[in-house]
């Protein structure tokens, strides 16, 4: 029996995922030591990210080979905007962030690089390449969420974030995308399969960079 495409992909980022779990942003969520300013900065950047992620989801959905794929990614694009408005709005209020400051935020370097890569791949690559590039944001967040749920957090604001991504509702969404990815596997020629691996690995690295950006409250150098 041949291995699933998702199994191949995950094995290819084992070291990246280990580095993500060990990052002080995530360990700080569970032990409560992450500064609130860093978390607020991350949430503001994530709101900006989700706006562009929704655009990438819609672009990939428009290239799906079947109506079910188009509908799924379109629905996920709408859901990404809903999360940005609801969860982030509540979290930023609880963290004491001025709405005007949140509205005036601009993408940090890592954020802009990540979303630019996603959009370029979603619009310029094949459907399978787009799925491969989008998948880490789904899958890694779910795996991280499930791990952090086991650890918990003494800060209710951090716990709310953990519960969202470690919960069954989000897990069901991720499983749908994993199933779509695995269906693509048998039809991929070696060259396209290699590209899917490359995009998956690259955006997995961007996931690490995004949490690192939040921890450092990254700014432009000039």
Here the CATH number for the domain that contains residue 146 is: 1.20.910.10
DSSP secondary structure code for residue 3 in this structure: P
Under 8 Å between Cβ of 131 and 69? no
Looking at the structure of the chain, the number of domains it has is 1
Q: Give the mean model confidence (pLDDT) for residues 160-173.
A: 93
Q: Do the domain assignments include residue 138?
A: yes
- Please report the pLDDT score of residue 80 as a whole number: 87
In a domain, 222, yes or no: no
Q: Name which residue leads in pLDDT, 136 or 96.
A: 136
Q: What's the alpha-carbon Rg for the chain, to the nearest Å?
A: 17
Tokens standing for 190?
């070696």
Task: Please check the confidence at residue 100 and state whether its pLDDT lies above 60.
Answer: yes
**Within a domain: residue 47?**
yes
Res. 111 pLDDT band, cuts 50 70 90: very high
**171 three-class SS:** helix
Note the pLDDT tens digit of each residue in 72-81.
999 999 988 8
Active-site residue set: 137, 207
> What does each C-alpha distance from 34 to 31, 119, 159 come to in angstroms?
8, 31, 12
Whether 202 maps to a domain, the answer reads yes
How much of the chain, in percent, has pLDDT values that exceed 70?
98
Q: Is the pLDDT of residue 215 over 50?
A: yes
Within-domain flag for 35: yes
Q: Which domain holds residue 125?
A: 5-216
Domain assignment present for 188: yes
SS3 207: helix
Q: Has residue 166 got a pLDDT over 50? A: yes
């Amino acid at each position: 029996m041949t291995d699933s495409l998702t199994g191949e992909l995950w094995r290819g980022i084992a070291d990246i995922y280990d580095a993500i779990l060990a990052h002080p942003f995530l360990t700080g969520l569970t032990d409560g030591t992450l500064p609130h300013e860093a978390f607020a900065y991350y949430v503001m950047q994530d709101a900006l990210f989700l706006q562009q992620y929704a655009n990438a989801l819609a672009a990939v959905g428009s290239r799906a080979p079947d109506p079910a794929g188009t509908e799924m990614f379109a629905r996920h694009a709408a859901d990404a905007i809903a999360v940005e408005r609801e969860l982030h709005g509540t979290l930023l209020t609880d963290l004491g962030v001025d709405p005007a400051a949140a509205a005036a935020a601009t993408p940090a370097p890592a954020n802009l690089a990540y979303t630019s890569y996603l959009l370029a791949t979603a619009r310029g690559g094949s459907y399978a390449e787009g799925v491969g590039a989008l998948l880490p944001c789904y899958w890694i967040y779910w795996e991280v969420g499930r791990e952090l749920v086991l650890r918990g957090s003494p800060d209710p604001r951090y716990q709310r974030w953990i519960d969202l991504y470690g919960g069954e509702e989000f897990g069901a969404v991720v499983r749908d995308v994993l199933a779509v990815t695995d269906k693509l596997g048998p039809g991929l020629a070696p060259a396209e399969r290699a590209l899917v691996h490359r995009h998956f690995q690259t955006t997995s690295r961007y996931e690490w960079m995004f949490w690192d950006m939040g921890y450092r409250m990254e700014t432009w150098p000039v």
